[in-house]
């Protein structure tokens, strides 16, 4: 059964369906085929989707695209899908078209005339599904046109990006809640393969989801063996990665932290007799597309990549995923290792790291954010009156992306609000006070982000069951040893079925306030606090000292 968590807020009445609506059984047969049956995750998401916004967390291969394809046919109204990567949009358009839905994508890779034609087709009811990047949906020309469309459902695919990328990398994710209002308040369906408790909360809040259901289905991939290995030097780490790849048959992905490291590993693998494709954001788009198509089509069996090689990678026979250095978070790690073994056959996930490798992730997590001068400039521009984002960029003589990032920070502290397509400064938005509030909020986010890095270290260093730690972070109670990780292989994993705390339990700390237990190990318990992030505590000390108590106590 899924975990269901409703969020507060009044439910808006659904619009009446059009005459083109299709019965659920017929829509299911059209999308899944005559013999196709809904999986439990799909059925749970569809049940109640008309009445509630929904966040569905379901493992890779659960058929999340089919959920909104069926919902679109049943409603007979336009579905707008926010999808973050061009390759992912392309695959989704192909899958939807194969199921008989009229689908098109609007992106920077599409000529301007074709973009306008696709949006016009959506408005004229000539499309069933329109796919957009977050940046496209917040463009004035696009959102203005779609206000006249009959949008029944807004889908945010790979919804963890709202949390992972929304702060700085893709700030337009922070404006999607306002876009929902401008589209007439359609139902919102957010989809992701993995999301921790903290990530789920951020997704619901930032998308402005109303009376939301949060459905968390079994994320376990028991066919993937989990392991981690430490190294003392860069050369030792890279030699271990190359050795693991050369000794493992079948297709695989090697992840590195930087573009330079990707190139270095590719050279080492070729010298070892295992040539690999290279994929990172520094390559021309044509080269990236060629590498991904070659790997997905079976023309090559090995790719070395940064995390840019990710969403949309759906090759079923990947036998291993090796990380040369730690990922930025365990959410990201499970997303990436989940690209192995999608055919259900045995697969392996190995993390090779030096203790010093965590320093890069801490550095990347500690920076970013708008400058105080930029925040002040945007606020000053709003003194002249409400403005669209494009108008603000002109008033401030700043790029649209810079203004978008600043607005995201200002929206977070309620110094700015949306009124339709325009932005308005709050009545009491004193620039000095606002900048201080943004800095406090940024410090809070930075603390949480840095704690995510430390949680990866906990996973890497643990002698207890690795799968338990991963799954409990993702909101599942998993007290038993998994039997499919290196800790279980060595016999160091312990059952913690009688632990004093359980994942998901609300607790209270005298100084840090209320928190949520995320991971329970034999000797440690990890608690997520809103302003401090993930904190790992000694279980015995917690119990004996009363440092952390149940929130109801």
DSSP 94-144: HHHHHTT--EEEE-TTS-HHHHHHHHHHHHTT--SEEEE-HHHHTSHHHHH
182 and 420 Cβ atoms separated by less than 8 Å: yes
Specify the pLDDT at position 361: 67
196 and 474 Cβ atoms separated by less than 8 Å: yes
482 and 495 Cβ atoms separated by less than 8 Å: no
Within the chain, all domains assigned CATH 3.40.50.300 are found at: 3-216, 224-364
212 and 6 Cβ atoms separated by less than 8 Å: yes
The confidence band for 11, taking pLDDT boundaries of 50, 70 and 90, is very low
Torsion of CA 176, 178, 181, 185, to 10 degrees: 30
Beta 506-509 vs 548-550: how paired, if at all? antiparallel
Within the chain, all domains assigned CATH 1.10.10.10 are found at: 372-440
Residues 387, 420: Cα–Cα separation, whole Å: 10
Mean of pLDDT values over 524-532: 80
Alpha helices (H) in 148-279, listed in sequence order: 161-164, 176-182, 197-206, 234-246, 259-271
Measured from the Cβ of residue 489, the count of other Cβ atoms closer than 10 Å reads 12
Helices 358-366 and 431-461 cross at an angle (nearest 10°) of 160
Order across the sheet with 548-550: list the strands.
533-538, 524-529, 513-520, 506-509, 548-550
The percent of residues above 70 in pLDDT, for the chain, comes to 91
Specify the pLDDT at position 462: 86
Smallest CA-to-CA distance from 283 within 269, 253, 303 is with 303
Q: Sign of torsion, CA 460 531 552 218?
A: negative
Specify the pLDDT at position 281: 87
Give the CA distances from residue 344 to residues 176, 213, 340, 352, 517, in Å, rounded to whole numbers and listed in that order. 35, 29, 9, 24, 31
Residue 277 has pLDDT above 90, yes or no: yes
Greater confidence (154 vs 384) lies with 154
Q: Which three-class secondary structure state does DSSP give residue 82?
A: strand
- CATH architecture, domain defined by 224-364: 3-Layer(aba) Sandwich (3.40)
pTM check: above 0.85: no
Q: What is the DSSP letter of 321?
A: E
Specify the pLDDT at position 17: 38
306 and 257 Cβ atoms separated by less than 8 Å: yes
Output phi, psi for 296, to 5 deg: -65, -30
- Most confident stretch, 168-182, 193-207, 493-507: 193-207
Supply the CATH classification number for the domain 487-550.
Answer: 2.40.10
Instruction: For the chain, give the mean pLDDT.
Output: 85
Within the chain, all domains assigned CATH 2.40.10 are found at: 487-550
The percent of residues above 90 in pLDDT, for the chain, comes to 38
503 and 477 Cβ atoms separated by less than 8 Å: yes
Specify the pLDDT at position 37: 87
Residues 191, 57: Cα–Cα separation, whole Å: 6
Residue 387 has pLDDT above 60, yes or no: yes
The confidence band for 21, taking pLDDT boundaries of 50, 70 and 90, is low
The confidence band for 9, taking pLDDT boundaries of 50, 70 and 90, is very low
Q: Sign of torsion, CA 235 241 246 247?
A: positive
Which runs of E-coded beta strand occur in 340-492?
Answer: 347-353, 416-419, 422-425
Specify the pLDDT at position 409: 84
Specify the pLDDT at position 1: 47
Mean of pLDDT values over 135-151: 87
Specify the pLDDT at position 246: 97
Lowest mean pLDDT among 108-117, 133-142, 166-175, 518-527: 166-175
Classify each residue of 106-136 as buried b or exposed e, where b means 16 or more C-beta atoms within 10 Å of its C-beta: bbeebeeeebeebbebbbeeebbbbbbbbbb
Smallest CA-to-CA distance from 332 within 357, 304, 351, 353 is with 351
- Which region, left, alpha or beta, applies to residue 344 given φ > 0 means left and ψ of -120 to 50 means alpha? left
Chain-centroid distance of CA 159 in Å reads: 5
Instruction: Give 250: exposed, middle or buried? Use CB within 10 Å, 0-12, 13-18, 19+.
Output: middle
Order across the sheet with 213-216: list the strands.
3-4, 213-216, 54-57, 187-192, 151-156, 78-82, 129-132, 103-106
- Most confident stretch, 2-6, 110-114, 145-149: 145-149
Q: Which CATH class is domain 372-440?
A: mainly alpha
Measured from the Cβ of residue 30, the count of other Cβ atoms closer than 10 Å reads 17
CATH among 2.60.120.620, 3.90.1150.180, 3.40.50.300, 1.10.150.120 for 3-216:
3.40.50.300
Q: How many helices (H) and strands (E) does the chain have?
A: 22, 21
Mean of pLDDT values over 447-475: 83
Residue 19 has pLDDT above 50, yes or no: no
């Amino acid at each position: 059964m899924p975990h269901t968590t409703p969020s507060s807020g009044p439910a808006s009445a659904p619009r009446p369906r059009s005459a083109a609506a299709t019965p659920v059984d017929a829509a299911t047969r059209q999308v899944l085929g005559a013999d196709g049956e809904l999986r439990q995750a799909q059925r749970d998401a569809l049940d109640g989707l008309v009445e509630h916004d929904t966040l569905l967390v379901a493992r890779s291969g659960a058929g999340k695209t089919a959920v909104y394809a069926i919902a679109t046919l049943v409603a007979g109204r336009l579905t707008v899908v926010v999808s973050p990567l061009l390759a992912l949009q392309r695959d989704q358009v192909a899958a939807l078209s194969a199921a008989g839905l009229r689908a098109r994508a609007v992106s920077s890779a599409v000529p301007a005339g074709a973009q306008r034609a696709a949006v016009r087709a959506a408005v004229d009811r000539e499309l069933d599904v329109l796919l957009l990047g977050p940046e496209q949906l917040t463009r004035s020309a696009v959102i203005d046109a779609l206000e006249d469309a009959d949008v029944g459902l807004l889908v945010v695919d790979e919804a963890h990006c709202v949390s992972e990328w929304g702060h700085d990398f893709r700030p337009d994710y922070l404006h999607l809640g306002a876009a929902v209002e401008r589209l007439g308040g359609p139902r919102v369906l957010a989809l992701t393969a993995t999301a921790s408790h903290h990530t789920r909360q951020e997704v619901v809040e930032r998308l402005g989801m109303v009376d939301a259901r949060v459905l968390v289905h079994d994320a376990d991939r028991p066919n993937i063996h989990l392991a981690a290995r430490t190294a003392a030097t860069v050369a030792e780490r890279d030699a271990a990665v190359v050795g693991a790849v050369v000794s493992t048959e079948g297709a695989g992905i090697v992840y590195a932290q930087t573009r330079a490291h990707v190139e270095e590993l590719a050279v080492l693998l070729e010298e070892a007799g295992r040539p690999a494709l290279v994929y990172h954001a520094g390559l021309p788009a044509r080269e990236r597309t060629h590498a991904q198509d070659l790997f997905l089509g079976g023309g090559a069996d090995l790719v070395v990549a940064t995390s840019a090689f990710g969403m949309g990678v759906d090759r079923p026979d990947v036998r291993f995923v090796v990380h040369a250095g730690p990922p930025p978070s365990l959410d990201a790690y499970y997303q990436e290792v989940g690209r192995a073994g999608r055919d259900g056959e045995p697969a392996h996930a190995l993390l090779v790291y030096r203790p010093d490798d965590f320093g890069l992730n801490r550095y990347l997590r500690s920076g970013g954010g708008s400058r105080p001068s930029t925040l002040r400039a945007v606020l000053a521009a709003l003194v002249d009156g409400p403005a669209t984002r494009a108008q603000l960029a002109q008033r401030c003589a700043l790029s649209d992306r810079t203004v978008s990032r600043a607005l995201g920070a200002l929206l977070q502290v309620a110094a700015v609000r949306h009124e339709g397509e325009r932005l308005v400064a709050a009545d009491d938005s004193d620039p000095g006070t606002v900048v201080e509030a943004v800095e406090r909020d940024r410090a809070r986010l930075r603390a949480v982000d840095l704690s995510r890095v430390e949680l990866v270290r906990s996973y890497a260093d643990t002698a207890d069951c690795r799968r338990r730690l991963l799954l409990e972070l993702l909101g599942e109670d998993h007290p038993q040893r998994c039997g499919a990780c290196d800790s279980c292989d060595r016999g160091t994993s312990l059952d913690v079925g009688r632990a004093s705390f359980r994942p998901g339990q609300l607790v209270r700390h005298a100084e840090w306030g209320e928190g949520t237990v995320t991971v329970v190990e034999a000797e440690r318990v990890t608690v997520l606090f809103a302003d401090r992030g993930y904190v790992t505590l000694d279980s015995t000390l917690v119990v004996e000292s009363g440092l952390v108590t149940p929130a109801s106590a």
